[in-house]
Amino acid sequence: MVLMMPPREALERLRQGNDRFASGGTRKEVKAGQGPFAIILGCSDSRVPPEIIFDQGLGNLFVVRVAGNVVASHQLGSLELAVKAFGIRLVVVLGHSECAAIVATLDELAAPTEGLSPHLGSIVSSIRPSLEPLLQSDVPQDRATLQARGVRANIHRSVGRILHDSPILTARIENHDLLVLGAEYSLASGRVEFLADRPELASFRESLCAKGAPPSEQVVRAREDERY
């Protein structure tokens, strides 16, 4: 592993950046409050900051970032908090090409590390169920294909966990008050592709939405304007 800049130099770079930021004007606009309009659950990768790739400013997005955009209790709790506190009605699970967490999990599946840290292991365990079916399928087994398919499978899995595992979020989905979507960012093009559900997820989502109360007129009007 190549070590990057020494920690004190890194800290100094952060201090200088914060000095520039604090002396600018943007901060004052959000001091009185915030009204984020979307939640992004994305990967921690330094090349995929949601505020920058969606061209948004301070106060616009509620962002949860974790390596591999996996969903566990802390992530669901963060989503529940944002939905309740700010009434946000859109959650986007944002994966990306060339994700190091997917690569690490493929590596672990090929040759498990003895004594892998339980913390890193918990990320790998969350991603593993998305990759194992690919390894047993007729998908070409070269690394590039497995990686690309794995990124997408992992996004769908995270969307599924959000749909299934939080009664608070599920209730909002049933009432047509919350939309949860998967999306993939391409490092090559800079474009985000919003993904259609896989069939089993689509039918589960349909069954949820059929259970809920019919959407209010206001919601219907909003939905007619939506493009996804």
What is the binding site for Zn ion (CB under 5 A)? 43, 45, 99
- Minimum CB separation of residue 49 from Zn ion in Å reads 12
Q: Which amino acid is at 111?
A: A
- Minimum CB separation of residue 63 from Zn ion in Å reads 14
Identity of the residue, 148 or 168, whose beta carbon is nearer to Zn ion in the bound complex: 148
Contact 154, 102 (CB under 8 A): yes
Q: Are strands 90-96 and 179-185 parallel, antiparallel or unpaired?
A: parallel
- Minimum CB separation of residue 85 from Zn ion in Å reads 27
- Minimum CB separation of residue 135 from Zn ion in Å reads 20
In 3-state terms, what secondary structure has residue 90?
Answer: strand
d(CA 81, CA 96): 25
DSSP run (H or E) holding 122:
helix 118-135
Identity of the residue, 43 or 76, whose beta carbon is nearer to Zn ion in the bound complex: 43
Identity of the residue, 101 or 178, whose beta carbon is nearer to Zn ion in the bound complex: 101
- Minimum CB separation of residue 87 from Zn ion in Å reads 29
Identity of the residue, 80 or 98, whose beta carbon is nearer to Zn ion in the bound complex: 98
- Minimum CB separation of residue 101 from Zn ion in Å reads 5
Number of C-alpha atoms within 13 angstroms, CB side, residue 77?
3
Identity of the residue, 130 or 170, whose beta carbon is nearer to Zn ion in the bound complex: 130
CA angle 130, 149, 207 (to 5 degrees): 60
Identity of the residue, 44 or 175, whose beta carbon is nearer to Zn ion in the bound complex: 44
d(CA 179, CA 155): 15
Give which of 223, 224, 189, 205 is closest to 89, Cα–Cα: 223
d(CA 220, CA 224): 6
DSSP assignment letter at 25:
S
